[in-house]
Structure 1
């Protein structure tokens, strides 16, 4: 069931709500430059196991409105809060991929984890996608600036080339075409401005404000958000557990989808998730 939630007077966010009578609610936030449709291989499986799956399209992406402004983490987190309040969500699992993971982290810090029981981060764009003093693990800022320039000059070609770094495993051509169709639904303006957001913004101070049990899933071959980012998240979030995906790049929710879904369900159902051992290998 799809519907829209107004988050500002002239901005509506698209929400896909699957199995509203589910036993637990998982709110998914997609990454750049995708939409909630990227979680098809979770939405095909988890509702059958009794979970309510809610996917939102961030502003500028998918079926949401595409205003000229508002493509910073604070505004994205506020949009999520508006959806949470409109739907009356409580005791839910907040799950974010890539820039959606960064948005989820900012939500936890900015809105004090309002309504969230547990947090799941996968290939999250945090604490910084780009290199900074004291944090040499990200991409050069110039590389992201080049993505932005390519977006303004030839966005289809930029997205075609992005696929080479997004996935580790071989993809069929029809699947690749499907992914790009999802990406084409974004506005070029939003694509560029969100890239500027993850180039320029960081979340070092946000990590320590997360109080809920947190699952971190990350592919060891990720060339977008490097594995060192996951290690930094695990170090910065007190109640976190890190699970590595040995055969995945940035698209682990598809590349190792069975393991991904199992780990997510295990985390949701485990009553002892506040007690964590050292990271899995």
Structure 2
């Protein structure tokens, strides 16, 4: 990956890195607060200029002093990156929480987009979505009831989200939680761990981060740019039904379901993931020439 670059917005440093050649594609990882290294996509760098952002509040980017990490505000930093590299438009690949940012970007800045790649994400974030994820976690634990790491993932999820017996208070506790529940993010954690090695993520906890509820379900029909939705069949936190609902609500959307993946299809089914993205970009480019 290329050297880190920085654009400053209202005194806040937004760091990003560029790799590859071809049409520009912004990449916004999930979290929030999870460092973006897990979302390196070398198979796409062969055909696209991948612009990997360190979302504000994590990685090498600054924290926001006022704690206002609204989805639209993340989008303003993404627009500043496009401006900084001199790209009038680009694709926007957003994973999980990064998909929230991509969707909001499609509403706020449609003129800056060639297309949206909405990867294991949702059109809303609030209590209902958290309760659905809790149900998904329970189903995951039941599926792998003989695996201690699965049982521990369910225990840690409940300790933070249900019983509230564990508090996220600093980077250490946040990291312990995220890496403790990590097995649930994969269709088969053990198989993936054996194949690729360490799956731990680095995190930053900002104690000033304000709650940021968000819901664009009633606005999906106004997003006119082409969209690709990618979802893993076994994704517990952004389950396939949400992707199908988004596809039904968006005027120009296609969907790719990865049958052997959870929340990290770019790791579990890397070839299929890359093919879906590149086919989408190729088809859009051919359509622009017709």
- Asked whether the two chains share a fold, i.e. TM above 0.5, the reply is yes
State whether residues 29 and 101 of structure 1, in contact with CA within 8 Å, keep that contact through their aligned partners in structure 2.
yes
Alignment root-mean-square deviation, CA = 2.9
Residue aligning to 1:37: 37
State whether residues 75 and 101 of structure 2, in contact with CA within 8 Å, keep that contact through their aligned partners in structure 1.
yes
Q: 2:74 aligns with which of 76, 84, 90?
A: 76
Whole-Å separation in 1 of the counterparts to 2:194 and 2:245: 35
| TM-superposed deviation, 1:150 | 3.1
Whole-Å separation in 2 of the counterparts to 1:163 and 1:83: 30
Shift in alpha-carbon separation, 1:94–1:163, aligned structure 2, 3 A: same
Structure 1 residues 166-205: aligned runs within 5 Å: 166-170=185-189, 171-172=192-193, 177-180=198-201, 183-184=202-203, 187-189=204-206, 193=209, 196-197=211-212, 200-205=213-218
Bigger Cα Rg: 2
State whether residues 6 and 13 of structure 1, in contact with CA within 8 Å, keep that contact through their aligned partners in structure 2.
yes
With structure 1 as the length reference, what TM-score do the two structures score?
0.80
Residue aligning to 2:104: 106
Q: Segments of 4+ in structure 1 off by > 6 A?
A: 142-145
2:80 is paired with a residue whose SS is: helix
Structure 1 residues 146-157: aligned runs within 5 Å: 146=161, 150-152=167-169, 154-157=173-176
Shift in alpha-carbon separation, 1:271–1:160, aligned structure 2, 3 A: closer
| TM-superposed deviation, 1:179 | 2.9
Residue aligning to 1:278: none
| TM-superposed deviation, 1:98 | 0.3
State whether residues 7 and 79 of structure 1, in contact with CA within 8 Å, keep that contact through their aligned partners in structure 2.
yes
Residue aligning to 2:254: 241
Q: 2:229 aligns with which of 213, 216, 223?
A: 216
- Between Structure 1 and Structure 2, how many residues are aligned? 256
Shift in alpha-carbon separation, 1:56–1:86, aligned structure 2, 3 A: same
2:43 is paired with a residue whose SS is: coil
Residue aligning to 1:122: 119
Residue aligning to 1:64: 61
1:119 is paired with a residue whose SS is: strand
Whole-Å separation in 1 of the counterparts to 2:200 and 2:283: 33
Deviations 1:138-188 (A, max 9, x none): 658x969628963227223211222022122223279564532xx23xx21
Residue aligning to 2:7: 5
| TM-superposed deviation, 1:205 | 3.2
| TM-superposed deviation, 1:67 | 2.6
State whether residues 129 and 225 of structure 1, in contact with CA within 8 Å, keep that contact through their aligned partners in structure 2.
no
Residue aligning to 2:88: 90
Residue aligning to 2:48: 51
2:167 is paired with a residue whose SS is: helix
Residue aligning to 2:154: none
